Structure 1
Amino acid sequence: MKASVDFQSRQKGAILGMFIGDALAMPVHWYYDRRALYRDYGRVTDYQAPRNPHPDSILWRSAYEAANPSADILHDQKKYWGRHGVHYHQFLKAGENTLNLKLCAQLIDSIVENGTYDSDAFLKRYIDFMTTPGRHRDTYVEEYHRHFFTNYANGRPLRACGIVEKHISGIIGMIPLIVRYADDPPTAKRLALQHLRLTHLGGKMAAAGDLLLDILLPVLKEASLKDTIVDKIKSQDNPLMGFPFLRWLADPDETVIGSRLSSACYVEDALPSVIYLALKYPHNAAGALIANTNLGGDNAGRGAVLGALLGAANGSQAFPKAWVDGLRHPPPNLEPFVSAALDGRRSHAV
């Protein structure tokens, strides 16, 4: 009989899992040619450093011009935009996280510092982090950041700078809030969706956020990950669940993700890909994250969400010690972050 996993271990597991899933995939992030992935890195089973050239990089066709100094979010990385073969995360080290997870660290710090979630406090941190040179070394800055800071530079109110979006990276920022307030599901849902809407608007993102909440919240409270997903398949109350996941379980992962579901970052395929992998490997966190990494595409975005689900299901001990110890910048303030969540219900800032 499987040993019970306590609530705090599930909380820690969800946070560690999102950082681990992102860091493991980081060097082969957005490799769409799997033969090139294996040629350049072999089968990835541990943290590696990224290397140039990146054969599938589209930075050569990417551009961003700051409307004024308040929108300068590229800093010394700007010179690499517009070039062929540049790795999106070229200056990161093995075990380091991409920008999306660095912003999750900022969110965790903000919650611990304020004792609760305060969206205004987070937005202040977000702007400072993105506009201060040297706060991170990631070359790639996703589309939603570019639109947010263009709107900010043009004088829009901070809460009106988000755009209609469709990338799985948007729901990653919800995870710390779901974990923190899992003992109070209505508050967890309200704050997590509010946080999503700061940057990611639209029906696709709302459906993705609802699905993440409907799976992660009960799993944090000891529900079976597999049973929770199967119940969502049966209920068909979310448009992202309309796939024959159970029939696919006997098929190779490479057939499901890449042929039946795109390995790209768009949430209508990326989140169902996470659901498929979580359903196939519900008690094998390491195997699931290794499989996800070697499938390429937006494996970092998928990996963060998948890692959170598996960590919540199996606890912090689910991940190899070498992966936990190898995180270059592990989740900050993790002990006070999860401990404070056990202090009971409180009023929550918005």
Structure 2
Amino acid sequence: MPAHSPEDRAMGALMGGFIGDALALGPHWYYDLDQMRADYGPWISDYTAPKPGRYHAGRKAGQASQAGILLRLTVQSLVDCGGYDEADFCHRLDTELFPLLDGTPMNGPGGYTSQSIRAAWHKRVKAGLPWGQVAGNADTTEAAERILAIAIRYALRPAELASAVTRNTQLTQTDGTVVAMTVAYGALLGMLVEGQTLDSGISRKLMARVKSGELPFHAVTSGDLQAPQPGQAEPSRAGLFPSPDALLGPSAIATAAIDPDIRIEPAWKVSLVYGLPCAVYHQFPAAYYLAARFHDDFESAVLNAVNGGGQNQARAILTGALAGAQTGLSGVPQRFLEGLENSGELLDLARRLAEQMVH
């Protein structure tokens, strides 16, 4: 497989997500950064195990959290079905994940269950509601952490990407802004897998796909975000997100990442600039910044995501996928692959997903 081929980028993106998840397993959710440094030293550079009493306690270095387990479940469904099959995906949640949960946070595969999955479990298992009626209003990146596999699968078919990502996200999350930002992340990841560059021009390219009808965002501007033409009617397509703003942020953030007058030093402090918490409006900007600043350096991108503390696991998953899409699997340090549990099986899944993407 040639370096920086579409397959190399696809495999790099998927493995980047798995690696980011596992790298943050130990130091996950430290909001006291001094305590994180006391527990793990001044710089976390490899896989670590959680401390007793912390999130994911009992897991070992290199293992996945539930986010990584859900990502793998999504990939397995995609490769077994040849694409996104919602009935199969939901069946896997019903039979492979939900029987292992009890609705409480500190339980389940990976040692912690996220808010949106807990909400879906309560509505699906306890209340007996059908899929389509079990989503909750969590404002987190939980869906983005699994749909990155769908975005990779459909990277060369952006309209199908947007449709599948939207439908999968809405299974567990109802907030319109969360869904829009998740779809925007998926669309951007798809473009990077295509071979596009995360720079000041990426939003213009995303907006061109809005104008062509490939991305379901509302936009009334003309040309390059110019004023609408006199007499120009509102777009009539149904199901549009209320604005394209989620697509416009990446270019501004990428511009800031390379602007010599704007420096975040050390780079892990991007978590302090955009915020340590879990919500999408903290997580996506930080991931975009790190992926743009370290576009050719997977290790620096993902380790700065981890060392920023707070919800560093989501930040590392999102950043790892974006960075891996740019460097390709060939640019991922071998030690990250060797230290990742079941890396051989994950690489095989990544290869199968990449093959489906290009055929």
Q: TM-score range by the shorter chain?
A: 0.7 to 0.9
Q: Give yes or no for contact 1:229–1:279 (8 Å, CA) kept in 2.
A: no
In 2, Cα distance between equivalents of 1:270 and 1:241:
16
Look up the SS of the partner of 1:159 in the other structure.
Answer: coil
Residue 148 of structure 2 corresponds to which residue in structure 1? 175
Look up the SS of the partner of 1:309 in the other structure.
Answer: helix
| Superposition map of 1:21-36 within 5 A | 21-36=20-35
Q: 1:12 to 1:88 in 2, by over 3 A?
A: same
In 1, Cα distance between equivalents of 2:246 and 2:355:
35
Amino acid at match of 2:173: H
Matched, 1:201 2:168: no
Residue 231 of structure 2 corresponds to which residue in structure 1? none
Amino acid at match of 1:95: G
Structure 1 residue 97, shift from structure 2 partner: 1.1
Match of 1:238 among 222, 225, 245: 245
Structure 1 residue 310, shift from structure 2 partner: 0.8
Q: 1:292 to 1:51 in 2, by over 3 A?
A: same
Q: 1:319 to 1:28 in 2, by over 3 A?
A: same
Residue 299 of structure 1 corresponds to which residue in structure 2? 312
Match of 2:185 among 212, 230, 233: 212
Residue 257 of structure 1 corresponds to which residue in structure 2? 271
Residue 139 of structure 1 corresponds to which residue in structure 2? 111
Amino acid at match of 2:292: L
In 1, Cα distance between equivalents of 2:11 and 2:200:
22
Residue 81 of structure 1 corresponds to which residue in structure 2? none
Amino acid at match of 2:14: I
Q: Give yes or no for contact 2:270–2:308 (8 Å, CA) kept in 1.
A: no
Matched, 1:48 2:48: yes
Structure 1 residue 261, shift from structure 2 partner: 1.5
The two structures, once aligned, show a CA RMSD in angstroms of 2.5
Q: 1:249 to 1:95 in 2, by over 3 A?
A: farther
Q: Give yes or no for contact 1:181–1:188 (8 Å, CA) kept in 2.
A: yes
Structure 1 residue 228, shift from structure 2 partner: 4.8
Q: Give yes or no for contact 1:262–1:269 (8 Å, CA) kept in 2.
A: yes
Structure 1 residue ranges without an equivalent (≥5): 53-85, 344-350
Q: 1:8 to 1:96 in 2, by over 3 A?
A: same
Look up the SS of the partner of 1:169 in the other structure.
Answer: coil
Q: 1:95 to 1:271 in 2, by over 3 A?
A: same
Q: Give yes or no for contact 2:181–2:280 (8 Å, CA) kept in 1.
A: yes
Structure 1 residue 173, shift from structure 2 partner: 1.5
Amino acid at match of 1:48: T
Residue 89 of structure 1 corresponds to which residue in structure 2? 56
Residue 288 of structure 2 corresponds to which residue in structure 1? 275
Q: 1:206 to 1:278 in 2, by over 3 A?
A: same
Q: Give yes or no for contact 1:27–1:51 (8 Å, CA) kept in 2.
A: yes
In 1, Cα distance between equivalents of 2:245 and 2:113:
30
Matched, 1:326 2:325: no
Residue 73 of structure 1 corresponds to which residue in structure 2? none
In 2, Cα distance between equivalents of 1:103 and 1:265:
18
Matched, 1:290 2:327: no
| Larger deviation, residues 207-216 vs 282-291 | 207-216
In 1, Cα distance between equivalents of 2:33 and 2:282:
18
Structure 2 residue ranges without an equivalent (≥5): 102-106, 208-223, 226-242
Structure 1 residue 170, shift from structure 2 partner: 2.1
| Larger deviation, residues 18-27 vs 243-252 | 243-252
Residue 128 of structure 1 corresponds to which residue in structure 2? 95
Residue 39 of structure 1 corresponds to which residue in structure 2? 38
Structure 1 residue 159, shift from structure 2 partner: 1.7
In 2, Cα distance between equivalents of 1:293 and 1:197:
28
Look up the SS of the partner of 1:40 in the other structure.
Answer: helix
Structure 1 residue 249, shift from structure 2 partner: 4.2
Matched, 1:15 2:14: yes
Please list the CA deviations of residues 173-197 of structure 1 after superposition, one character each: whole Å capped at 9, or x if unmatched.
1111111111211111111111111
Structure 1 residue 342, shift from structure 2 partner: 2.1
In 2, Cα distance between equivalents of 1:131 and 1:255:
36
Look up the SS of the partner of 1:173 in the other structure.
Answer: helix
In 2, Cα distance between equivalents of 1:4 and 1:335:
14
Matched, 1:337 2:356: no
In 2, Cα distance between equivalents of 1:138 and 1:202:
26
Q: Give yes or no for contact 1:174–1:193 (8 Å, CA) kept in 2.
A: no
TM-score (norm 1): 0.81
Residue 102 of structure 1 corresponds to which residue in structure 2? 69
Q: 1:115 to 1:255 in 2, by over 3 A?
A: closer
Amino acid at match of 1:44: I
Match of 1:309 among 322, 327, 346: 322
Q: Give yes or no for contact 2:3–2:328 (8 Å, CA) kept in 1.
A: no
Structure 1 residue 34, shift from structure 2 partner: 1.3
Look up the SS of the partner of 2:54 in the other structure.
Answer: coil
Look up the SS of the partner of 2:358 in the other structure.
Answer: coil
